Structure 1
Amino acid sequence: MATFTFGPVEFYLVALEGDRPAPDVFEALADLIADGTLRLLDLLIISKDEAGEVTVTEIEDETDQYGFGTVELAAEGLAGDDDVDELAELIPPGTSAMLAVLELAWATKLAERVAASGGRVLSVERIPAPVVNALVDSVVDSEEEES
């Protein structure tokens, strides 16, 4: 059977209201890490000043300053310069974003079984939560109107 060190990984670039995530964002990440749903591989704060100059803060060097406590990164440095350069283009001048590299630990077993069976993933599509919720709400609303 195939054994993977890591499961699927996703890069999340999250716009921030200030220069750091709200404490409850870190709390949510810590909860998901503690229950084994995900592993935090890398975490960066990317800031862009009004002139477009980009500054990157690696959280593993600043965990206490950002209130993230003792959570350890499983693969710090995984988000490379090319990733940061590409994603920084999405950040408006004068704002900041958090780049979280997350391993979907829950999917490791599925990935191993798919590989062991000779299968391979052909496509994965993520639908953002606001889109799914709006779609479900519209379906429920139309069903209620028909009743």
Structure 2
Amino acid sequence: MADFRFGPVELYLVGFEGERPDPATLSALTDLLASGLVRLLDFVLVSKSEDGDLEVIEVDAEADALGLGGVEIHAAGIAGGEDIDEFADLIPPGGSAALVVLELSYARTLAERFNASGGVLLRSERVPAPIVNAMVDILENEGE
């Protein structure tokens, strides 16, 4: 069986007020990391001036100042310039966001076993939680 160093990866762009995420946002992330379900591969802060100029900070250099001291970043830099530029288009002028790259560690074994059995993943799709919840609400209300 092939031994995968990493499982599937997801990128999240999380907007927030100010130049840094608040402690509750960081706590949500650190709690999830502590569960072992995901690993933090990269964490990048992106601020956009009113003129559209970007300031990009790789968090591994400032982890302690952000309250992420002790959190291991496993592949700093994996969110490349092209990724950052694409996601930064979604940040409004004067806004800030964190680009968080998470490995879905829980899915690594599944990927290894698919590969070992000769299976080829043809498509994977993620439906965002707000959409799933709205759809379930609609389905539940149809029966009433």
Q: What residue number does 2:140 align with?
A: 140
1:73-84 to 2 correspondence within 5 Å? 73-84=73-84
Shift of 1:134: 0.8
**Structure 2: distance between partners of 1:141 and 1:36:** 36
**Structure 1: distance between partners of 2:17 and 2:132:** 24
Report SS of the residue matched to 1:30. Answer: helix
**Structure 2: distance between partners of 1:24 and 1:120:** 39
Q: What residue number does 2:35 align with?
A: 35
Determine whether 1:17 maps to 2:13.
Answer: no
1:37-56 to 2 correspondence within 5 Å? 37-56=37-56
Q: TM-score, normalised by structure 2?
A: 0.95
Shift of 1:102: 0.4
Q: TM-score, normalised by structure 1?
A: 0.93
Shift of 1:94: 0.6
**Structure 2: distance between partners of 1:119 and 1:21:** 40
Q: What residue number does 2:121 align with?
A: 121
Q: RMSD of aligned C-alpha atoms?
A: 1.1
**Structure 2: distance between partners of 1:19 and 1:141:** 41
Determine whether 1:92 maps to 2:92.
Answer: yes
**Structure 2: distance between partners of 1:32 and 1:3:** 24
Q: What residue number does 1:2 align with?
A: 2
Shift of 1:46: 0.5
Q: Which runs of 4+ in 1 moved over 4 A?
A: none
Q: What residue number does 1:109 align with?
A: 109
**Structure 1: distance between partners of 2:19 and 2:121:** 37
> How many residue pairs align between the two structures?
144
**Greater Cα offset, 134-143 or 17-26:** 17-26
**Structure 2: distance between partners of 1:88 and 1:32:** 24
Q: What residue number does 2:63 align with?
A: 63
Structure 1 gaps of 5+ residues are none
